Structure 1
Amino acid sequence: MLLTSIDPFVQEFERQFDRAFRQVAGNGTGAGMPMDGIRRADDVVLRFDLPGVDPDSVEITVDRGVLSVTAHREEEIGEDERPFIRERTMGSFTRRVYLGEHLDAEAIEAAYDNGVLAIRIPVLEKARPRKVAVQAGRGRKALKG
């Protein structure tokens, strides 16, 4: 018998994150929006790098368990300016992240500061870690069921 520690949330999040990463690597979608995901006891925080993006161009939607983040970055070039190097990606960017059923999609919060978009998604109460009381003194007879 093999015993292992399993956190279904982490497994599902990693699976979805890996799938999204493969999609991004394959077709370039989302290349201008790198993301970090952090799991805490009461919530999940996603951080997206969006330097040079006007916060008014950021749109966040949730539809059937999928969080979509869309942003637009555009560079204005004057008449007397001629670019000679263009390495910064411009245009619209979209990232989609699957939200498991244990996250509260109704209570999502977002903030944009210094080019970083942070999205906080609370974990539902039923999915939060909890302590289980241990009954002492009765051995196997204490557990009935």
Structure 2
Amino acid sequence: MNRSFFPRDLFAEMDRLQRDMQQALDPTSSIRGLGRGFPALNVGGTPESLEIYAFAPGLDPDALEVNLDRGILTIAGQRSPSFSEDAAVHINERFDGHFRRVVALSEDADPDKLQATYRDGVLRITVQRRAASQPRRIDIQ
């Protein structure tokens, strides 16, 4: 008979279930920053580009998929479980499994000028703004 040194904490289990339900029912992210989930996102911009940072430490870049369709940017992938199936888990706060985040890009984003890089656990996506929408000085004749 297996006995754990750590008794099962009902309140910790309820907290975990609540977090799982919140994550499952949370609305997807948009340019206005609604929602939370994995990976955590920072979305902002400069006059020349839109910048999206997805914080996904410990992932293989091949496990990430970035798609753009009709102004909707999707970041998806999968994180492998930390423990083997037969391990007795006492605390598990690290997300694992499939994930998907969606960001609606502004109309001035140029879908042909998108670049994605992954370094030190941060996925950086840069989308250039269309040249017609960038501020410029008009000479007076």
Q: TM-score, normalised by structure 2?
A: 0.71
Equivalent residue number for residue 31 of structure 2: 17
Output the amino acid matched with 1:71: G
Output the amino acid matched with 1:83: V
Choose from 78, 81, 87 the match for 1:75: 81
Distance in 2 between residues matched to 1:76 and 1:96, nearest whole Å? 25
Query: Aligned residue pairs: how many?
Result: 112
Unaligned stretches of 5+ in structure 1?
Answer: 1-15, 26-30, 136-145
Determine which structure has the larger helix proportion and give its number.
1
Unaligned stretches of 5+ in structure 2?
Answer: 1-29
Output the amino acid matched with 2:74: S
Which segment drifts farther, 38-47 or 110-119?
38-47
Alpha-carbon deviation of 1:109?
0.5
Question: Conserved in 2, the CA contact under 8 Å of 1:54 and 1:72?
Answer: no
1:44-123 matches, cutoff 5 A: 44-78=50-84, 81-123=87-129
* C-alpha spacing 1:134/1:36, structure 2 compared with 1 (3 Å): same
* C-alpha spacing 1:81/1:109, structure 2 compared with 1 (3 Å): same
Distance in 2 between residues matched to 1:57 and 1:37, nearest whole Å? 21
Q: TM-score, normalised by structure 1?
A: 0.69
* C-alpha spacing 1:80/1:91, structure 2 compared with 1 (3 Å): closer
Identity of matched residues, % = 29
Larger radius of gyration: 1
- Segments ≥4 residues shifted beyond 6 Å: none
Please, what is the CA RMSD of the aligned residues? 1.9
